[in-house]
Chains A and B, each alone.
Chain A
Amino acid sequence: MSRFEAMDGNTATAEAMRQVNPDVVAAYPITPQTSTVQTFSQFVADGEVDTEFIRVESEHSAMSACIGASAAGGRVMTATSANGLALMWEMVYIAASNRAPIVMTVVNRALSGPINIHCDHSDSMGTRDAGWIQLFGENPQEGYDNAIQAVRIAEHEDVLLPVMSMYDGFITSHGLERVQIEDDEAVRDFIGPFTAHDALLDVDNPVTYGPLDFYDFYMEHKRQQVEAMKYAKRVIPEVAADFEKHFGRRYGFFDEYRLDDAELALVVLSSTAGTARSVVDSLRAQGLKVGLLKPRVFRPFPAEELADALRDKIVVGVMDRSDSFGALGGPLFVELSAALKTYDVSAKMVDYVFGLGGRDTTPSQIESVFRDLAEMAETGEIKQLVTYLGVRE
């Protein structure tokens, strides 16, 4: 039987890891991910998991050990944040190109410098081209659910790509919420046993991993990664459908809230969507036709589906919790702009960079965004392409 508990995101993630019972975990503690590693360490110390837990000396070694363990032929998980992810950057790419189905929770935190331990999305956005599937979660429940689904997605034979599951540092990682924890057996039944492909430990059938790959083959191998991402786009909804059958909670590429008949749409990732929903409700009560779209899957980017969902909107406001210095706007804005243009969506688009380094984002700020969008819908003019919310200019 499933149970309801008050849990923060990191405890819920550790619970998911306990239930998945990976063969190997290699991880290094970093704020705000630390309590996941601590809680999991206790599970290991208490014999509640069979996992060999490698307490590595750095995140770089964490990802290297994960790749080695995965190639050896078993199920592997890890978790990190911010600078930890940055330190393992080199290996993050290598994990994907080795087609290692590693599942990693990334508790989103601002990248240094200056050093800052609080939430923004600069860490995982920086790895958006690394070849990992990326899922963003709004709250502890989604962190838990995504971690479990990530195992199935990563290990699907048509995919075999690593998956990053994200949620907001401190806001979600340390905020207590009601979480439905499923029965251990039900989770294990859902994920199924691990099937090894070309295992290093199969000494009778030796394989070479990570050879030197020049201009004569490298491009084909990159092309195969592209293909795997395409398959992932098919597999992610399949896994979500099966998850819903098992556990009743529905997941898609994105989540829509009062979007159908909306003229003004706001697009925002993760925990801020919760705040935005309440703003949508209060503005709807005032007669404004506003709605919300919260992407869950950022890689593979569901461009066509997003375009369809936003097709008849007049203005689309994107909120980016990270910036791409020198680019047109934040990463979510740039990607979404390209998607809407490609699929002939005529909505006007603007970007709001917010919440960097954990800066608080209030309902009144989100309301001001909607007011901006309303003004743009009325005048047909884009007032300002990128606005920095709540910053001293």
Chain B
Amino acid sequence: MATALKLKELYKKEDRLTSGHRLCAGCAAPIIVRQILTAIDEPVVLSNATGCLEVSTTIYPYTAWQVPWIHTAFETAASTISGVEAMYRSLVKQGKMEEQDIRFVAFGGDGGTYDIGLQALSGMLERGHTALYVCYNNEAYMNTGIQRSGATPLGAWTTTSPVGKVIPGKPRPRKDLTAIAAAHDIPYTAQASPHNWRDLMRKVRKAVAADGPSFLNVLSSCNRGWRHPTDITIEISRLAAETCYWPLYEVEDGEWKLTHRPKEKLPLEEFLRPQGRFRHLFREENKHVLEQLQAQVDRKWRQLLKRCGEEE
């Protein structure tokens, strides 16, 4: 019997990522990782891309991981877990080890996933490895000090898309990686956020039960890069979903489905206001960027509703 997705049951489970790691106060990444690893009852083997999560949890000779874990490089979380999973299948097939119902999970930030590791991810999804790839998406290269990535939204300030005299932040919109992953026609793809832990954990369960590859894109607030107080991580995540900036949905065997529809779609401003990275957008001269960003969110939301067969 799987552990019920109830707090009074889940808290009894042993942490697979222990305290003592050196991620920042208020960072969403360890919250997400613990939600994911708590959702999985089976044994896990993890692969981790270079990034905040990797450097902060395994400073030699210490490790915060209570489960088998491997890091090879920045762009290789997917290819490395492919090798681990293939070895498992090989050894079980040959009778060299007993089947143990192991779940294979890869973690990468948006740098390691949207950008430098996209090819390896695509390869893993296309080849059909039974593994879950999780992107903890903080929308920039935070580990190297807040540089823009393919996940950074239009207009956002980063250190490589600074707000200058002529260019107001990132001039290009983010790419829709969840849709790109879904286009691989894999059994399960979803978008989630840590404020809705039950939704996230339910998605993890579906993902690791899938017969084949699965992909989970989780919005992961970084207060250092997003420039917000450390104690509003969960609230900012909620606002991302409620403004439809980060809709929660899943694609199961090609069927698109919303898993949360805001009762009232909030104006994007509510998500942007508390964040220093968007502060310049509220100046008069940048009003057009703000409008563009809202228009993009609206267009993507309508597109998603259509894909999910929902009324506007």
Residues of A within 8 A of B (CB): 23-24, 26, 50-52, 54-58, 60-61, 64-74, 76, 90-91, 94, 98, 200-203, 206-214, 217
Contact = CB atoms under 8 A, between A and B. Distances in A.
Nearest to A21: B94
A65 B79 contact: yes
Contacts of A76: 83, 87
Contacts of A74: 87, 90-91, 96
A57 B120 contact: yes
B63 A69 contact: no
Contact of B87 (A68, A203, A207): A68
9 tightest Cβ-Cβ pairs between the two chains A and B = A68-B83, A65-B83, A57-B123, A211-B58, A69-B83, A72-B87, A64-B79, A61-B79, A210-B71
Contact of A54 (B43, B54, B88, B127): B127
Given A50-B94, A210-B70, A210-B72, A57 B59 contact: no
A67 B86 contact: no
Interface string B233-248: 0000000000000000
Interface residues of B, number: 47
Given A200-B68, A211-B71, A57 B84 contact: no
B91 A23 contact: yes
20 contacts: A23-B91, A52-B87, A52-B89, A56-B79, A65-B79, A65-B80, A66-B83, A68-B72, A68-B80, A68-B82, A71-B83, A72-B83, A74-B90, A90-B73, A200-B45, A200-B69, A208-B63, A211-B59, A212-B59, A217-B61
B97 A201 contact: yes
A212 B60 contact: yes
A64 B63 CA distance: 22
A91 B73 contact: yes
Interface of B: 43-45, 47, 54-55, 58-61, 63, 65-73, 75-76, 78-84, 86-91, 93-94, 96-97, 100, 102, 119-120, 122-123, 126-127
Nearest to B46: A200
Contacts of B75: 60
B197 to A, nearest CB: 25
Contacts of B73: 64, 90-91, 94
A58 B96 contact: no
Contacts of A50: 90, 93-94
Nearest to A94: B72
A55 B86 CA distance: 11
Contacts of B100: 203
A208 B97 CA distance: 21
B123 A206 contact: no
A201 B68 contact: yes
B86 A52 contact: yes
Contacts of A69: 83-84, 86-87
Given A66-B83, A68-B47, A211-B71, 6 more contacts: A64-B80, A69-B86, A91-B76, A207-B69, A209-B71, A211-B63
A60 B79 CA distance: 9
Nearest to B83: A68
A26 B120 contact: no
Contacts of A26: 82-83, 86
Contacts of B91: 23, 72-74, 201
A71 B94 CA distance: 18
Contacts of A211: 58-60, 63, 71
A207 to B, nearest CB: 6
A19 to B, nearest CB: 16
Contacts of A56: 79, 82, 123, 127
A348 B289 CA distance: 72
Contacts of B123: 56-58, 61
A148 B281 CA distance: 64
Contacts of A24: 83, 86-87, 90
Contacts of A57: 119-120, 122-123, 126
Given A55-B127, A68-B70, A209-B71, A60 B82 contact: no
A42 B163 CA distance: 57
